[in-house]
Structure 1
């Protein structure tokens, strides 16, 4: 089984929709379940994108409620609307598109709101911002966060971050995959903090799939990364 914790639904505003539609992309690589955010919600209008995703959430997909830290009243309404149905299982926050750095007051307020609702948050990280996310996670009781891209080129910062906070999880998708990146991270952190993510449909799942396969993870760790950790973190009914 494979669970993709970083995927998207809907068209992009540029021509990098390389993976095509969500379900065909999943089928090509044997991805059984995906947790998706609406591209419209991430890059343009969170409430409108969340509403559109709720109306057409594909089979084999669960949803992220996208939160814009600059629109917390809308976020609170959407969390109360969509989380109780069970199809939405977490929150997505993109720090760059919302101009909300991890160190900002508005991001703290947003993540405190997420923690109050008891669901994990997938947060865009790049470089050393993953360290800021770990510190924020430690400061907010009960918060569970996924460092999207595990810091990208800052993956060694992600190792430090995960070691400092056991409620911070790492997923690897990135448009570049330096040799040895995933193997180094997997050998350096608790395997229970590792997840699989592709950034589909923005990036073809082949990128993350091949990089994880090339890491030659031990069978027990590979299973945790592929689906067990995600199933536990999001309380997904699998088996």
Structure 2
């Protein structure tokens, strides 16, 4: 069965980790049977979005199994607008990524609203770092922007229940459950809340987090074979309009 990981990173972090370059991603993908991985640059997330996106573009050029998210900095929206266009024009970037904690802009801020407008206009999916009850604001924010489709990275983190209800309230919100704390029953709860299987995606947070944790969350969900195919690759293929594996 093909596997597409929609939440991963290339590059070193400020934590004590051994992973550092795109080849580390590929080695980890081989270990866990991941066929394709959608990545953002850790440098772009934490330090400099434009420089990090540029470095990631070079790494993607020779690694066809990796596809990119262009990181958008809500604090530098004009610069990010031009950079997002440059990244998408390469054909190697398929979406945008916004981290809320590092730039200090949460849902409800005017800066994040502008960033949402930018991504909606670009017409690509957005991977949004979500952690906390601010996910409750997302249904209205996304519904107000017809071109916007948002993957809730970490599915709200410690607010995974609130994230489940947010996704149930808006058909352009998707859940991706990677995180370091593997609370049991998160996917089952979201399904009971009314989120269809077509809006769950598989993500690992690699190489920051070992993919075994995300795979364990899927095992806990007790999905049928058809549901598992949906989550592991079919939903991502449709959302990002990816070529068949």
> TM (normalized to structure 1)?
0.96
Identify if the C-alpha distance between structure 1 residues 25 and 70 changes in structure 2 by more than 3 Å, giving closer, same or farther.
same
Quote how far apart the aligned CAs of 1:134 are.
2.2
- CA shift for structure 1 position 187: 4.1
Aligned residues: 239
Aligned residue in 1 for 2:240? 234
User: How far has the Cα of 1:18 moved from its partner?
Assistant: 6.3
Aligned to 1:31: 34
Partner of 2:3: 2
Q: How does 1:48-197 map to 2 (within 5 A)?
A: 48-57=51-60, 58-188=63-193, 189-197=195-203
Q: Distance in 2 between matches of 1:116 and 1:24?
A: 35
Partner SS state of residue 95, structure 1: coil
1:90 match: secondary structure:
strand
Whole-angstrom distance in 1 between the partners of 2:174 and 2:69: 16
2:96–2:124 contact (8 Å) kept in structure 1: yes
Q: Distance in 2 between matches of 1:171 and 1:30?
A: 19
| Aligned pair partner of 2:215 in 203, 206, 209 | 209
How far is the alpha carbon of 1:128 from its aligned partner? 1.3
| Alignment-derived partner of residue 22 in structure 1 | 25
Q: TM-score, normalised by structure 2?
A: 0.94
SS in 1 for 2:74: coil
Across the aligned residues of Structure 1 and Structure 2, the Cα RMSD in angstroms comes to 1.4
Given the superposition, is the C-alpha separation of residues 74 and 15 from structure 1 closer, same or farther in structure 2, using an over 3 Å criterion?
same
Q: Which moved more, 1:184-193 or 1:32-41?
A: 184-193
Instruction: Look up the match of 1:43.
Output: 46
Comparing both chains, which one has the higher relative contact order based on Cα–Cα distances under 8 Å and sequence gaps of 6 or more?
1
Mark the runs of 5 or more structure 1 residues left unpaired by the alignment.
none
Q: In the alignment, is the contact (CA less than 8 A) between 1:32 and 1:60 conserved in 2?
A: yes
Show CA shifts across 1:101-135 (max 9, x none). 11100000001000101001100111212221222
